[in-house]
Chain A
Amino acid sequence: MSDVRRSLALVWRTLRSMRTALVLLLLLAVAAIAGSLIPQAMNSPARVEAMFRDHPALARFYNAAGLFDVYGSWWFTFIYTLLLISLAACLLPRSRALVRNVRARPVAARELDGFRHYAERTIPADPERVITGARRVLRRRLFRVEAANGRAPGLAADKGLAREAGSLLFHWSFFLILIGIVWGKGTGFTGFAVIAEGETWTEAHANYDGNIREGRFFNEDHSGVQIRVDDFQVTYGPNLVPKDFVTRGELLDPRGNPVRRVDIRVNHPAEEGGVKFYQSGFGWAPVIEVRDGGDVLYRGPVPFAEDPPPKGVGQLQLPWHGVVRLPTLDPQAGIQFELWPDSRALLMLQSTGVAPPMPYAFAPVMRYTVYRGNLDASPVRSSTRLDTTLLHTEASGIVGAATTVDVASGRIVEPGPSGAIDYPKGLSITFPELRRYTVLEVARDRGLWIELLAAILILLGLLPALYTSRRKVWVTAEPDGGAGTVLKVGGFALQRKTQFEEEFDRLVNELAGASSGRAEGS
């Protein structure tokens, strides 16, 4: 029993030591480095996938060791938990000691000339006056002063408790950060909404298409706030870097009543119902209609995606791709589209082999390929790319904006004399217009104010912890036998000891000058 207690005491002592905390702190840094060198599933899922493809054995090892999710791994959690325990073990006794120190008044010292800093002055004034003057000087210098009368009248003074208080505030605030994270992330969520121009999107779990991470204590209380996107605009700078992009629209309450119009930009999120909308990304969403004879099988804007560009090719030089699935047909059909927002780029590619960048739309065209077969046979679930291995090609062709193409013949269906289109038998594809879509990040974090508070406290604590110093000063005033007084000053510095030498000299001058009416030393 006592063995157990002894080893527990040892563990506790070890945890409490600064050395342990220091080692844990550096261990945390090393662990964080691992996370910055190995791709993290959270930040770059594509690179993690690439690892699994190119180095499967290594990737499996990384995965097992939690190296693809370092900051959520058990060992990272273990390190900072230990660090926080060690911190608490260190802070608790220090906090108690601070409270004791604050309550306790400065204590008299016996022999002043034993201190590292010591000075003696003879002053032509009586001891009472010297003490009164000294008390005033020390108070003005923010010392706590206490009468300490031994053989002679004297004072004991100290200052700099703010150093310890600041240090403790700084360190305790990290627990507040942890509370903020657990509460904020636990009860909140982060997701991405893909919304084409003209569409209204409701903040609800199903509408994220799986692109949402909800906290552990989140109880599905989505806000139901709606946003209607009227317009998305992007402007490019001279070297085709996006200069500005903005989602213009209107926020609506859960019942659909307008709340206010918003322009959402990077750095300018919109907030409603406790949920924030951030500008995150954008792309092309051609409106596509697919008909079988006269029956509409599909109609609506389809968000397209782009591939990462190969080396030496700009992102804007690449076409976009998307899919329309027609699962109700028998056999099922899927259409893979390739969008060229600027058809001149496609012509240039065919004539020169190089496509120029396509920042803006100009007479857009889509190449399409219609596949038939069982769409559910493939395990790949991509919304922009068909897995065609088990499908067979039925037809392919090209469709321009504001036209309809007969899939069987590949020809454009001209409108009749009345302007109405007589849709052909079989499949036809219509491309009424090209729209943009916006990607908004949608997040709720109720811990934000806790984090902000903690950050402020960290800074507030850090300044006195680093820049104030603890000092103790003792003063006695003995009659020198005549009309004068021998002033004795002893001083003790716990930090910045070399700096205290000058400080002490100045202080002694001031103490000596306070009662003799002389100008105080500077």
Chain B
Amino acid sequence: MNSPQTLFAKIWDEHVVVQEDGAPSLMYVDLHLVHEVTSPQAFTGLRTRGLRVRCPDRTVATVDHSIPTIASGLQAADKEAANQIRHMEENAAAFGVKLFGLSSPQRGIVHVIGPELGLTQPGMTIVCGDSHTSTHGAFGALAFGIGTSEVEHVLASQCVLQRRPKTFEVRIEGRLGPGVAAKDVILALLSKIGVSGGAGHVFEYTGSAVRMLSMEERMTICNMSIEGGARAGMVGPDDTTIEYLNGRPYAPAGPAWDRAVDRWRRLSSDEGAGYDASVTLDACALQPMITYGTNPGMGIPVTGVVPDPDRTDDGAMKEGLKKSLAYMGLKPGQRLLGQPVDVVFIGSCTNSRLSDLRLAAGIIKHKKVAPTVRMLVVPGSQEVKRQAEAEGLDRVFISAGAEWRESGCSMCIAMNGDQLEPGQYAVSTSNRNFEGRQGKGGRTFLASPLTAAAAAIAGKIVDVREMVNS
């Protein structure tokens, strides 16, 4: 009898093309997602060597990072951004790569459209020159971010050299309480294991709570695996996965669908498969989370207090915490409840899907955004935007006084015109609160769409459970 295997091991073993002694594995890539920021130098490399894209049918490009999200005319923020977008268009045309460009109704954030179009499928290896490629692991794919040199390697060979990572089981049992969202689960995990706790590992999220989550919720959690240092996060495919994919434009159909489903159902980790590390979270005990510092591991329950650097013995941690609090303008022991905010951002590859917008709209409905707050709602794709508009969510946001935008990475990355002003405080549903991430000098509190929407109404950080329960 074969020994029980993890989901990760099954996919890894099936994709090793060459394994030389002492060398990293040469891994085959099933799907290569490409965007405008991390690909131009890779295409230039191909040109220099006179190489073609080996598998245009496994390569899909879009523009998302540097594009504007203002509806009128979609003028790029500056000529550098416009140039980068033009390069993507020219490279896709020259190398025969499918591009969902600025004028495509199917364009959007690369980690939103992959799943939405059914390109992302269980059992695949998926790479992209973007660390949030971990998102696609929600489907039981092995998906991880790569650098531009590796983008060039994959374009030229459809392969990438990788060392086999270790496995890390994140078991989440129980049911989430009212006002607690998938984002709170991952922020709670990060606050527990820190931003390097998963380094060298691939997370697999298991347990009853994960089984109850929708695909979009699973994507939110897998998306931020990289914030724990793990390059990939995965969930074993189940009925929820299969139901989501059925009928998507690039999902298999007819007899091919039945064969694929058969294959996908055998992928989940076998009973008794072992992991190199593990941690357990009790979903019932989780509260709405918010970050106070300058990395995503610096999170606390929204009712909690900012930690005191002087109460840790670890010198590096103490210094890091002091630096973070100085940047954030916060004091040790301070409560975040009541902290005024200037901007609320609903969007990014973490939380810009239809269910995220529904959560935020549910809080906003029949209310007004506080006059001191600028609220941006940026759907993850043009398809998400259309669906949201069909449900009237756009009118909920607009009549509350929020800005309803075209899709894109927007204020998550501050390279496209959407950004914080120095000193501003934002509650963001994005994934990174790094110094300057949302704009030079901008200060970010990461939270769920529920907590972010509640802050927009109140003009300050509040416990959304008080709005949900009332």
A and B co-occur in one complex: no
Residues of A within 8 A of B (CB): none
